[in-house]
Structure 1
Amino acid sequence: MKKLVFLMLFAIPLVGAQLPHVKAEEVSFSAERLKRIHQMLQRRIDAGDISGAVTLVARNGRVAYFETHGFMDIETKKPMASDAIFRMASMSKPITGVAIMMLMEEGKVRLTDPVSRFIPEFKGIKVAVARQSTPAPAGANQATPASPQFYTVPADREITIRDLLTHTSGLVSGPMSTSEAAKVARKPGETLADYIPRLGALPLEFQPGSQWRYSPGAGFDTLGRIVEIVSGQTFDVFLKQRIFDPLGMKDTFFSPTEDRIPRLASVYQKTTRGLEKQPDPGPTKYFSGAGGLRGTAEDYALFGQLLVNGGQLNGKRLLSPRAVELMGSIFVPDTLPGRPRGEGFGLSVRVVADAAARGTWLSNGSFGWSGAFGTHFWVDPKQKMVAIYMVQTSNGEIQRDYENSVMQAIVE
């Protein structure tokens, strides 16, 4: 009988993990002060700035605050659900960063490796140099902006893995390179393997390493392709087998299955006419490491806790403590052109270098990132904390207000 019970238990499929939930005071938060998070977000919902959100705050590996706010969908008045699935957009990037760090630890990738080691099309890349602009002739159509005018010069050096991780590569990072990228745009149904090699023919926006300028898609999509080449797996399979399954992130993926569609939170854009619903792109074969993932607040909290814990969670070690420390180190100081005061950049994450200079409540050394649809997270190694804000409307002000609302609730 005991053997039968054991076999039955063994046959139960693995389900997603969750961090334990405790009373706020058990991890030195004020429950009363944490209520200010909901009060702040409700004001924003009432003002028509966002449709709804899910917020989660954990400290010392335990969840002190986990709340839903507003609606998943305004038109149907569907209340926000705690397991709502959000388009993460660029909050995909730190996950891609972890994937690369794992391959580094295996000795298969180096920070200093040129991208051309893995994708030969990036060999001999050029850099765009803007030509001096001339006034438009009288009577010219001012409604259609002219394409940037430039010439190219050889790059001082090749772009590296480090350049891609830190947004210092110049790959599709500004008007000149973006205008050229439009000429080799990705076609429907293409994969990373189909598209990424074409990026090697594009001129960089600036000499590698000379400045920080955000590469919204190309840089981290290229990293995703490198993961595929090095691992021999498609990027979605690598992430599932090496990161999501070990951590219990059961609701993090690129393409929604039929059973998950009712849990998708609608994306809204704030316009002069109010919040306007945006179409969902649906299933995809293009596994964007820059912005293609979807997931829940609880799933992303597991990923954040992995980083707080120095690379391990629930007995599964994905990275060494040193690798996580490197991720959150300042590779790009705030003195490099393009970075705001008080905020450096690590390997796939922003890093608070000087809280006073940044004008933030976050602790020095906190690191994280955000997404185009408003999603936001950070981990605080000093406070042993992870905070998640899942939403589907872009608004940087609310992200800062959320940071403040979380930090003011810590009382010990």
Structure 2
Amino acid sequence: MALGGGAALGALFGTPATAAGNDHFVWKPSAPQAGGFSASGLEGVRAAIQGQIDAGIISGAVSAVARHNKLVWCEAQGLADPIAKIPMRKDAIFRMMSSTKHVTAVAVLMMVDEGKIALDDPISRFIPEFKSMKVAVPVPGTKDPSQVTLVPAEREITVENLLTHTSGLPAVGGFGKDDVASPGRPQHALTDTLATWTPKLATLPLEFQPGSKFNYSPLEAHGTALRLVEIVSGQPAEVFMQERIFQPLGMHDTYFNVPARKQNRIVPLVDRVDGQWAYADALLGRTHMSYIAGGGGLLSTVRDFMLFDLMLLNRGSLNGQRILKPQTVDLMSRDHVGALFKQWIPPITGHSGFGLSVRIVEDPSKSNGRSKGAYGWGGAYGTETWVEPERDLVAAFFIQLAKPPFASQIPFETAMQKALVA
């Protein structure tokens, strides 16, 4: 899908480009009324989160809301470490897991803006190993996943397929853990890099024909996408992200590998076991990683991710630092897969669209009250952020649990919406 489609969409709906100066934001508390909230209503937000903590549902959280480029709420509540009784702090560093994905998507789209990548490019243009892929088709009458027939892919994987979970790339475990992969099946190793791993991934058969299905790719698709960024930018992924995204936006606590001096701020991953809190092993971020996981490797703070989403809310710029063109943000935040996402998990996704690595609200009555067109994505350990263009609002709710309750941010969201008065 060419970039011109996004520009045409913006023109069709008359969406203006961000005017110079309108993207100004300072990270300091503003009066609730500056964002159209009531002070008493925001106390309801505090109470809603505290209720979850008191009930033992979560151990602690950091949450924030900004509207009209004003920070109207940012609080740390409960405990970062419920075992050692260490309080949560506002600058706590969280494992972002899949919240990383839309950051990787922005990196790719920056290369689209520069004309180095097109969304409809076959990825074999950059990584030749993906040129002639095979698709694994189950043998009729068996449920044995090893019983498959390999058939040629009907078309190549495109860049857009990577960002919309429609590539067919398989989910591959590893990272030094035990895995059920069959003998000879390549696995991630702690010594792998994007450059060494991605060609190995290309030796595996696809799970379905590219573009025919939506099936969530935990690490592989966005890892491949980030490898494309390395190739066309000529920079290692960590360097590109720091120099081109994090530093310009003032995201000073966002890393794939957290420096030693800041590691004491990483929130330990915990789980609820027999009614008690216990430490849990994190898949990523537990040690230095040479593989820069574009699908789940970032660690960050609420402040930093709010800055990133404020950039998206302001259609690609923040405080005079333009990251994406306005029409590219429009392209990112509109539906790209139609019925494919709705058919994935119909009770959950049937009322939503899916853009370039973000879920998009189509029916507010079935989306916890988020407004039509709101978009975002979350992480497996409970990091949730979203952008609401209709309300000129961004919000974040971060916890760090090995198995967070489904939609754990709902009490926060519900209270926040009740606090909104103008």
| TM-score by shorter chain over 0.5 | yes
Question: What is aligned with 1:338?
Answer: 344
Contact 1:312/1:319 (<8 A) preserved: yes
Question: What is aligned with 2:316?
Answer: 311
Q: 1:156 is matched by which residue type in structure 2?
A: E
Question: What is aligned with 1:115?
Answer: 123
Question: What is aligned with 2:70?
Answer: 62
Runs of 4+ in 1 over 3 A off after TM superposition: 132-135, 178-182, 270-275
Identify which range, 273-282 or 383-392, moves more after superposition: 273-282
Residue 402 of structure 1: CA displacement? 2.8
SS of the equivalent of 1:43 reads: helix
Structure 2 Cα separation of the partners of residues 338 and 153 of structure 1: 24
Residue 404 of structure 1: CA displacement? 2.4
Q: Identify if the C-alpha distance between structure 1 residues 180 and 319 changes in structure 2 by more than 3 Å, giving closer, same or farther.
A: farther
Q: Identify if the C-alpha distance between structure 1 residues 149 and 409 changes in structure 2 by more than 3 Å, giving closer, same or farther.
A: farther
SS of the equivalent of 1:207 reads: coil
Structure 2 residue 229 is matched with structure 1 residue 210:
no
Q: 1:321 aligns with which of 326, 330, 338?
A: 326
Q: 2:288 aligns with which of 283, 307, 318?
A: 283
Question: What is aligned with 2:152?
Answer: 154
Q: 1:401 is matched by which residue type in structure 2?
A: P
User: 1:218-233 maps to which residues of 2 (within 5 A)?
Assistant: 218-233=220-235
Question: What is aligned with 1:11?
Answer: none
Which string of whole-angstrom CA distances, capped at 9 and with x for unpartnered residues, describes residues 289-310 of structure 1?
1100011101111001000101
Which string of whole-angstrom CA distances, capped at 9 and with x for unpartnered residues, describes residues 46-86 of structure 1?
22222211000000111111011111111211100011111
Structure 2 Cα separation of the partners of residues 278 and 341 of structure 1: 33
Q: 1:396 aligns with which of 403, 406, 411?
A: 406
Which string of whole-angstrom CA distances, capped at 9 and with x for unpartnered residues, describes residues 244-292 of structure 1?
0000100000112121011111111334454321245122211111100
Contact 1:28/1:411 (<8 A) preserved: yes
Structure 2 residue 93 is matched with structure 1 residue 85:
yes
Structure 2 Cα separation of the partners of residues 36 and 154 of structure 1: 57
Contact 2:364/2:370 (<8 A) preserved: yes
Residue 133 of structure 1: CA displacement? 4.5
Contact 2:83/2:277 (<8 A) preserved: no
Structure 1 Cα separation of the partners of residues 290 and 263 of structure 2: 17
Contact 2:255/2:299 (<8 A) preserved: yes
Residue 153 of structure 1: CA displacement? 1.2
Structure 2 Cα separation of the partners of residues 119 and 242 of structure 1: 23
Identify which range, 233-242 or 266-275, moves more after superposition: 266-275
Contact 1:148/1:179 (<8 A) preserved: no
Contact 1:334/1:342 (<8 A) preserved: no
Question: What is aligned with 2:198?
Answer: 196
Structure 2 residue 44 is matched with structure 1 residue 36:
yes
Alignment TM-score, normalising by the size of structure 1: 0.88
Q: 2:352 is matched by which residue type in structure 1?
A: E
Contact 2:26/2:70 (<8 A) preserved: no
Q: 1:210 is matched by which residue type in structure 2?
A: S
Structure 2 Cα separation of the partners of residues 298 and 86 of structure 1: 11
Q: Identify if the C-alpha distance between structure 1 residues 213 and 272 changes in structure 2 by more than 3 Å, giving closer, same or farther.
A: farther
Question: What is aligned with 1:351?
Answer: 360
Residue 130 of structure 1: CA displacement? 1.5
Alignment TM-score, normalising by the size of structure 2: 0.86
Identify which range, 230-239 or 18-27, moves more after superposition: 18-27
Which string of whole-angstrom CA distances, capped at 9 and with x for unpartnered residues, describes residues 79-106 of structure 1?
0001111111111111101101100000
Structure 2 Cα separation of the partners of residues 265 and 374 of structure 1: 12
Q: 1:74 is matched by which residue type in structure 2?
A: P
Q: Identify if the C-alpha distance between structure 1 residues 154 and 311 changes in structure 2 by more than 3 Å, giving closer, same or farther.
A: same
Structure 2 residue 80 is matched with structure 1 residue 72:
yes
Structure 1 Cα separation of the partners of residues 232 and 373 of structure 2: 31
Q: 2:185 is matched by which residue type in structure 1?
A: K
SS of the equivalent of 1:287 reads: coil
User: Identity rate of aligned residues, in percent?
Assistant: 41
Aligned residues: 383
Q: 1:111 is matched by which residue type in structure 2?
A: L
Contact 1:335/1:341 (<8 A) preserved: no
Contact 2:62/2:397 (<8 A) preserved: yes
Contact 2:139/2:148 (<8 A) preserved: yes
Contact 1:374/1:390 (<8 A) preserved: yes
SS of the equivalent of 1:347 reads: coil
Q: Identify if the C-alpha distance between structure 1 residues 216 and 171 changes in structure 2 by more than 3 Å, giving closer, same or farther.
A: same
Question: What is aligned with 2:22?
Answer: none
SS of the equivalent of 1:397 reads: coil
SS of the equivalent of 2:78 reads: strand
Which string of whole-angstrom CA distances, capped at 9 and with x for unpartnered residues, describes residues 89-138 of structure 1?
11111110110110000000000011111111111111111223558xxx
Structure 2 Cα separation of the partners of residues 181 and 359 of structure 1: 43
Contact 1:174/1:205 (<8 A) preserved: no
Contact 2:62/2:76 (<8 A) preserved: yes
Contact 1:342/1:352 (<8 A) preserved: yes
Segments of 5+ residues of structure 2 without an aligned counterpart are: 1-24, 174-179
Q: 1:348 is matched by which residue type in structure 2?
A: S
Structure 2 Cα separation of the partners of residues 303 and 64 of structure 1: 17
Q: 2:411 is matched by which residue type in structure 1?
A: D
Q: 2:251 is matched by which residue type in structure 1?
A: M
Contact 1:19/1:61 (<8 A) preserved: no
Structure 2 Cα separation of the partners of residues 181 and 400 of structure 1: 43
Q: Identify if the C-alpha distance between structure 1 residues 206 and 272 changes in structure 2 by more than 3 Å, giving closer, same or farther.
A: farther
Which string of whole-angstrom CA distances, capped at 9 and with x for unpartnered residues, describes residues 133-184 of structure 1?
558xxxxxxxxxx654322211111111100101111112599xx9569820
